[in-house]
Structure 1
Amino acid sequence: MYSKILVAIDGSKPSLKALERAIEIGKCWKSEIHAVYAVNPGIYGTTVVDPAIGVSDPGSERIFNMLQEESKKIIEDAKSFTGDQGYYVKYHEKLGDARNVILDTAKDLGVDLIVLGSTGKGMAKRLVLGSVSSSVVFHSPVSTLVVRDLGEKKQKSN
C-alpha cells in the first residue's frame, strides 16, 4: 500500500505522464500525493545564486526571477492538469539540484513511493547529461517508479 506518493515534475511531457500515473496509483490506494519541482539556479554558474547566501550579483537577480516565473508556470500547468484528473495534489517548489531535492523531499515527507518521468535517452546522452531518474532510482530508500515516454513513433511500432 502506498499512503504517500511523491512525483517529480519539470514541465516536460514525461513528467506529466508520471503525474498522471501517480494519480492513477493514488486513486487505487487513496494516497496523499505530493508533486515537487526543483528550481536549480546552480546550472547557471556559481555567480548566479547560492542557496546559502541568495542572489550574488545584480545581473543574477533577473535570471533568478526568470527561474521563479518558470517555476510558477510549470506548477500552474500541472495544477490545471491534475484538476482535470479530479484528484488533489499538494505542490512543492524547492531550490537545488533535482536529484537531491527529490530524495530530500521524499525523506522529509515520509513517502513510500517516488514517481518520475524519463525521456528514454541512450547511455551516451546519460553519461554526458546525467540522469535524474537513474540517480534517484539508485539512491532511493523507497520504491521508485520510472514512467517512460517512448514518444509516439516508438509506441506505434510496438
Structure 2
Amino acid sequence: MYSKILVAVDGSETSIKALSKAVELAEGWNAEVHAVYAIDPGIYGTSVVDPSVGVIDPTSERIFKMLNEEGKKVIDKCLKVSESAGYKVNYQIKIGDAKDTITDLAEELKADLIVIGSTGKGITRRLLLGSVSSYVVTHSKISTLIVRG
C-alpha cells in the first residue's frame, strides 16, 4: 500500500498515461498524488531562439519565463486529466535536471512510489541522450513504476 505518489509529467502522451495510472492507483489506496514538471534550461545549450526577441542566453530571466510558461501549459493539460478523474493532484514546476528533480523531490516528499512514463527508446538513443526513467529506476531508493507509451 502506498500513501504518497510522485508522478513525473512532461506533456507527452506517455506522461499523461503515467499521470492517469498514478491517479488510478491513488484512488485504490487513498493516497496523495504529487506531480512534477522539471524545467531544465541546460538542455538548450548555449543559446535559445525566442521568436519575440531572437537568440537569448539560456540562463537569462527571459528563458526561465518562457520555459515556465511551457510548464504551466503542461500542468493545465494534466489538470484536465486529474479533474476529469475527480482526484486532487498537487502540481509543482521545478527548475533543474529532470532526473535529479524527480529523485530529490520524491525523497523530500517521502513518497512511497514514483510513477514515470517511458517512451521505450532503443539502447542507442538511450546511450546518446540518457533516459530519465532509466536513471530514476537505477538511482532512486523509492519504488518506481514505469508506464510504457
TM-score by length of 2: 0.89
Answer yes or no: is the 8 Å Cα contact 1:15–1:116 preserved in 2.
Answer: yes
Distance between the aligned counterparts of 2:58 and 2:143, measured in 1?
42
Name structure 1 gaps, 5 residues minimum: 49-55, 150-158
Percentage of matched positions with identical amino acids:
59
- What is the CA–CA distance in structure 2 between the aligned matches of 1:93 and 1:105, rounded to whole Å? 11
Deviation at 1:147, TM superposition (A): 0.2
Secondary structure of 1:66's aligned partner: helix
Tell me how many residue pairs correspond in the alignment. 142
1:2 — aligned with what?
A: 2
Deviation at 1:47, TM superposition (A): 7.2
**CA distance in 1 between partners of 2:64 and 2:111 (Å):** 30
- Show the counterpart of 1:132: 132
Q: Report the counterpart of residue 81 of structure 2 in structure 1.
A: 81
1:46-65 equivalence runs, <5 A: 60-65=60-65
Structure 2, unaligned stretches of length 5 or more? Answer: 49-55
Which amino acid letter does the alignment assign opposite residue 44 of structure 2? Y
Query: What are the equivalent positions in structure 2 for 1:4-153 lying under 5 Å apart?
Result: 4-45=4-45, 60-149=60-149
Quote the RMSD (CA, aligned, Å). Answer: 1.9
Q: d(CA) in 2 for partners of 1:92 and 1:135?
A: 21
TM-score normalised to structure 1 length:
0.84
SS in 2 for 1:144: strand
Q: SS in structure 2 opposite 1:25?
A: helix
- Matches of 1:15 and 1:99, distance apart in 2: 14
SS of the aligned residue for 1:10 comes to: coil
State the alpha-carbon separation in 2 of the partners of residues 58 and 30 from structure 1.
41
Partner Cα distance (1:88, 1:105) in 2: 19
